[in-house]
Amino acid sequence: MFSEWAAWAIIALPLAAFAINAFIVRPLGAPAARLAGYVTVTALAVTLVLSVLALMAVQDAHGTAGYEPHLWFAVGPFDMTIGIFLDPLTAIMLIVVSSISLLVQVYSLGYMRREPAHGGHAAEERAVHAGAAHAHDAHGHGGDAPVGDGVSREHPYADYPRYFAYMGLFTASMLGLVLSSNLIQLFIFWELVGLSSYLLIGFYHWRPSAAAAAKKAFIVTRIGDFGFLLALLYIFSHRAELMAAGLNPFDIRDLHQAAPLLGPGVVTWIALGLFAGAVGKSAQFPLHTWLPDAMEGPTPVSSLIHAATMVAAGVFLMARMFPLFEESATALNLIALTGGFTALFATSMGLVVHDIKRVLAFSTVSQLGYMMLAVGVGAPVIAMFHLFNHAFFKCLLFLGSGSVHHSVHTFDMRKMGGLKRWMPVTYVTVLIGAISLAGIFPLAGFWSKDEILVAAWEGDTVGRLVFLFGIGAAFMTAFYSFRMIYLTFHGEFRGGIDAVPMAERIPDEAHHAVHRHESPRVMTTPMVVLAGAAVLSGIVANAPFDLGIVPAHWFAHFLEEEAPHFNWPIAIVSTLVALGGIGLATLMYRTNAISAEGMALTLKPFHVLLSRRYYMDELYEGLIVRRVLYRGVFQAADWIDRHIVDGTVDLAGWLGRNTGRAMAQVQTGQVQLYGVGIALGVVVILLVLLTQGGG
């Protein structure tokens, strides 16, 4: 039996790591900074152990471990509750989040360590940037001495306390989200995830691009969150029906039974509102624009965001609330179409980018599209299976890109090439990740992608349509995965950061030079572990046949779903398509049989369209924000604010102050006058008493 205290401890431990790092380690300054990493790693190691125990308990209990929700506050008949909801879905997510987070933290121990400076110029420049940091984050850093985080920026562990504090908060928020038994509770953690991702994407807040990316991520996801909030309010407005049936309007278990009470129309609107939240968090079209920019954070952060914490929240919400979605065909079709379209749309943009992390970012958007597609065709378990597999190989790929950066100090693939010569571990692990991403038998990505395609194929018209989207996306995914491998690891080395002119470098990195070495073991070990998972997670967790220790289709049965069946034609088609993508990439980037530049020239309009990401950013920033909102709405609002609102406020303030002064005049200090007040009071009470009911 897994006690409820242990479940709360899963949230509390990383939160404690946050508190310790933020309030104890950080004020201690330089000598203690190094401890921050160990605090978070230890907390997460225990969390992982607890998560495994939770999984085993759920397995033994054959379903939900029932914890009674606790009353948070009550207003009249409405009870607002909080609690732990630990079912197989949560148990799986706990494993994903805590294991990925632990590996990322271990990796960060190496990655976030600063390298010693290479001379006076660089040190001077960084001091300037540390000054800028002061101005940006005045409340956090205000009184600290001597610069920045209370530790000189030259210190190798200068970034540790703040980084590991935020990471603790981020992980705690996500774990709290998956454990929530109440939709409002879930929403609170949902927003905390948004907040901590904002803090981490903007970790290098002295870089304007990082500050902008953090803001963009926060604002774009907020647009989706608004839909979530509307759904909550809409549920609340229908609380009477639910409470009459003895259900708590926000309890997730109760909401699972709520659909028949609410009727299809209401359910559709609620589902669409929740889906809007998921579109924002899981970076689906049209709110996908924040994710590629979120690369500005430290690479391990991207890894965590893309694999387990931030973007997974949207898919998790869909799976969590699926009993509600199930009742609305409209909502499901919209989800399937959005997911399928996003899968195709995002992969196409991944074809042309040069930044290795952005390639991965677009692949995340499209893989999330696959998951949404699976939810939309009525297969949330398969979506979760893909999320599970994707978490491992995507985390691996990002850690690999960070490892590459550790050596060449750039993310631009045009400046790489031939890295496999001195980065054998990184090469092999990233290659495994790429094959898994491409969906080649028998790696993890193959199994879940294949099941998604089968589920889509077996659906109705919408299902068939999104199946085609999925096949198209599979081809392009395989292509750009291997384009990335070839450009990064094969061929001649093209100079790394040494080939970047001084003027184009990010100031923080201006002093760096290429080191031809493999990353330290603290970074490669997590990658090797993840590579093992990327190979095995698919086949072991949901094997089509009995493996001895693990029964066949364990994952699906665990989530109480029928086993998906293996469809040979679709498996063969999707594998051929993926191999075709790899083949084309080989021809273009390995053997150079087809000239990539020539292709770009021939298809120039397409190439430009893709490079500019379909002009979506321009559409949002230029047209909607600048023209429509800024010139139209904001300026009108500004006028109203200045003339009407301020005027009213000023008047009210003037009135209040002067009435107050007038009233204070009564306060003369004369006891006689006070006595008159008492007498008057008696008269007033008496008059009102006598007029009421004709005494």
Partner 1 sequence: MNFSLIWPEVLIAALGFIILTVDLVLPRSQERRRNVVTGSIAAAGMLAILVFSIFYLRGRVGVLGADLYLADRFALAFKFMFLGAGIAVVLMSIEYVGSRIRHPGEYYALLVFSVLGAVLLAGAGDLLVAYISLELLSFSLYILVAMSRGDRRSAEASTKYILLGALSSALMLYGISMLYGPSGTTSFRGLAGFLFYNFSPTVAVGFALFVAGLGFKLSVVPFHLWAPDVYEGAPTPVTAHISVLSKAAAFALALRFFIEAGSPTHERWALALAVLAALTMAVGTLTALPQRNIKRLMAYSSIAQVGFVLMGIVANTPLATDAVLLHLAGYAFTNLAAFMAIIALEHRTGNEEIAGFAGLAARAPFAAMVLSAALFSLAGLPFFAGFVTKFYLFTATADAGYIWLVVVAVLGSLISLYYYIMVMKQMYMGTAADGKPLAVSRLTFATLLLLFAGIVAIGIYPAPFAEALESATAVFAPFAGR
Residue 612, amino acid: R
**What DSSP assignment string belongs to 525-576?**
HHHHHHHHHHHHHHHHHT-SS--SSS-TTHHHHHTT-PPPPP-HHHHHHHHH
Q: Which of 49, 56, 74, 636 is close enough to bind partner 1 by CB under 8 A? A: 74
Q: Which of 5, 73, 545, 568 is close enough to bind partner 1 by CB under 8 A? A: 73
- 76 or 119: CB nearest partner 1: 76
- 83 or 378: CB nearest partner 1: 83
Instruction: Give the whole-angstrom CA distance, residue 327 versus residue 544.
Output: 30
Instruction: Give the whole-angstrom CA distance, residue 605 versus residue 139.
Output: 48
- 119 or 693: CB nearest partner 1: 693
CB 82 within 8 A of CB 181: yes
If one asks whether residue 659 binds partner 1 (CB under 8 A), the answer comes out as yes
If one asks whether residue 138 binds partner 1 (CB under 8 A), the answer comes out as no
If one asks whether residue 605 binds partner 1 (CB under 8 A), the answer comes out as no
Q: Which of 1, 62, 75, 568 is close enough to bind partner 1 by CB under 8 A? A: 75
If one asks whether residue 566 binds partner 1 (CB under 8 A), the answer comes out as no
- 517 or 657: CB nearest partner 1: 657
- 5 or 73: CB nearest partner 1: 73
**How far from 404 is each of 2, 100, 205, 515, CA to CA, in Å?**
42, 20, 23, 10
Q: Which of 10, 11, 76, 86 is close enough to bind partner 1 by CB under 8 A? A: 76
- 551 or 681: CB nearest partner 1: 681
Q: Which of 128, 547, 644, 689 is close enough to bind partner 1 by CB under 8 A? A: 689
If one asks whether residue 690 binds partner 1 (CB under 8 A), the answer comes out as yes
CB 52 within 8 A of CB 60: no
CB 251 within 8 A of CB 182: yes
Of 388-396, 420-428, 618-626, 659-667, the segment contacting partner 1 by CB under 8 A is: 659-667
Instruction: Show the binding pattern over residues 307-346: x = contacts partner 1 (CB under 8 A), - = does not.
Output: ----------------------------------------
Q: Which of 60, 66, 72, 634 is close enough to bind partner 1 by CB under 8 A? A: 72
Instruction: Show the binding pattern over residues 25-64: x = contacts partner 1 (CB under 8 A), - = does not.
Output: ----------------------------------------
Q: How far is the CB of 9 from partner 1 (least distance, A)?
A: 18
Under DSSP, is residue 84 helix (H, G, I), strand (E, B) or coil? strand
> Around Cβ 57, how many Cβ atoms within 10 Å?
17
- 461 or 667: CB nearest partner 1: 667
**How far from 601 is each of 223, 593, 606, CA to CA, in Å?**
38, 16, 10
If one asks whether residue 695 binds partner 1 (CB under 8 A), the answer comes out as yes
Matching residue, tokens 């200045």: 642
Q: How far is the CB of 81 from partner 1 (least distance, A)?
A: 9
Q: How far is the CB of 227 from partner 1 (least distance, A)?
A: 23
Q: From 469, 404, 388, select the one nearest 436 (Cα to Cα).
A: 388
Under DSSP, is residue 443 helix (H, G, I), strand (E, B) or coil? coil
Q: How far is the CB of 233 from partner 1 (least distance, A)?
A: 17
Q: Which of 42, 70, 313, 565 is close enough to bind partner 1 by CB under 8 A? A: 70
- 70 or 136: CB nearest partner 1: 70
Cα 517 off chain centre by: 32
Instruction: Give the whole-angstrom CA distance, residue 627 versus residue 605.
Output: 26
Of 219-227, 490-498, 602-610, 651-659, the segment contacting partner 1 by CB under 8 A is: 651-659
Q: From 362, 307, 290, 360, select the one nearest 107 (Cα to Cα).
A: 307
Q: From 336, 590, 564, 337, select the one nearest 454 (Cα to Cα).
A: 564
Angle at 361 between CA 358 and CA 366, to 5 degrees: 130
- 601 or 685: CB nearest partner 1: 685
Q: How far is the CB of 424 from partner 1 (least distance, A)?
A: 53
- 63 or 653: CB nearest partner 1: 653
Q: How far is the CB of 314 from partner 1 (least distance, A)?
A: 27
Residues with Cβ within 8 Å of residue 543, at least 6 apart in sequence = 550, 552, 553, 554
Q: How far is the CB of 142 from partner 1 (least distance, A)?
A: 10
**Burial letters 90-117, b for 16+ CB under 10 A, else e:** bbbbbbbbbbbbbbbbbbbbbbbbeeee
- 601 or 666: CB nearest partner 1: 666
If one asks whether residue 549 binds partner 1 (CB under 8 A), the answer comes out as no
The two structure tokens encoding residue 44: 């997460």
Instruction: Give the whole-angstrom CA distance, residue 59 versus residue 554.
Output: 10
The two structure tokens encoding residue 272: 């669409």
Q: How far is the CB of 670 from partner 1 (least distance, A)?
A: 9
- 186 or 443: CB nearest partner 1: 186
Residue 633, amino acid: V
CB 386 within 8 A of CB 367: yes
Residues with Cβ within 8 Å of residue 471, at least 6 apart in sequence = 453, 573, 574, 577
Q: How far is the CB of 132 from partner 1 (least distance, A)?
A: 24
Instruction: Give the whole-angstrom CA distance, residue 328 versus residue 267.
Output: 7
CB 538 within 8 A of CB 382: no
Instruction: Show the binding pattern over residues 666-685: x = contacts partner 1 (CB under 8 A), - = does not.
Output: xx-x-x-xxx-xx-xxx-xx
CB 293 within 8 A of CB 202: no
The two structure tokens encoding residue 378: 């009525």
- 549 or 682: CB nearest partner 1: 682
Instruction: Give the whole-angstrom CA distance, residue 437 versus residue 397.
Output: 9
Instruction: Give the whole-angstrom CA distance, residue 367 versus residue 307.
Output: 11
Instruction: Give the whole-angstrom CA distance, residue 251 versus residue 78.
Output: 12
Q: How far is the CB of 115 from partner 1 (least distance, A)?
A: 36
- 135 or 689: CB nearest partner 1: 689
Instruction: Show the binding pattern over residues 423-462: x = contacts partner 1 (CB under 8 A), - = does not.
Output: ----------------------------------------
Interface size with partner 1, residues (CB under 8 A): 36
Chain positions 343 to 402 lying near partner 1, rule: CB under 8 A, are none
Matching residue, tokens 């330290």: 520
Q: How far is the CB of 446 from partner 1 (least distance, A)?
A: 47
If one asks whether residue 692 binds partner 1 (CB under 8 A), the answer comes out as yes
Q: How far apart are the first and last CA of the chain?
A: 68
If one asks whether residue 135 binds partner 1 (CB under 8 A), the answer comes out as no
CB 564 within 8 A of CB 382: yes
Q: How far is the CB of 680 from partner 1 (least distance, A)?
A: 6
Q: How far is the CB of 158 from partner 1 (least distance, A)?
A: 25
Q: How far is the CB of 15 from partner 1 (least distance, A)?
A: 14
Q: Which of 116, 597, 605, 661 is close enough to bind partner 1 by CB under 8 A? A: 661
The two structure tokens encoding residue 604: 């120039």
Positions touching partner 1 (CB under 8 A) are 70-76, 653, 656-657, 659-661, 663-664, 666-667, 669, 671, 673-675, 677-678, 680-682, 684-686, 688-690, 692-693, 695
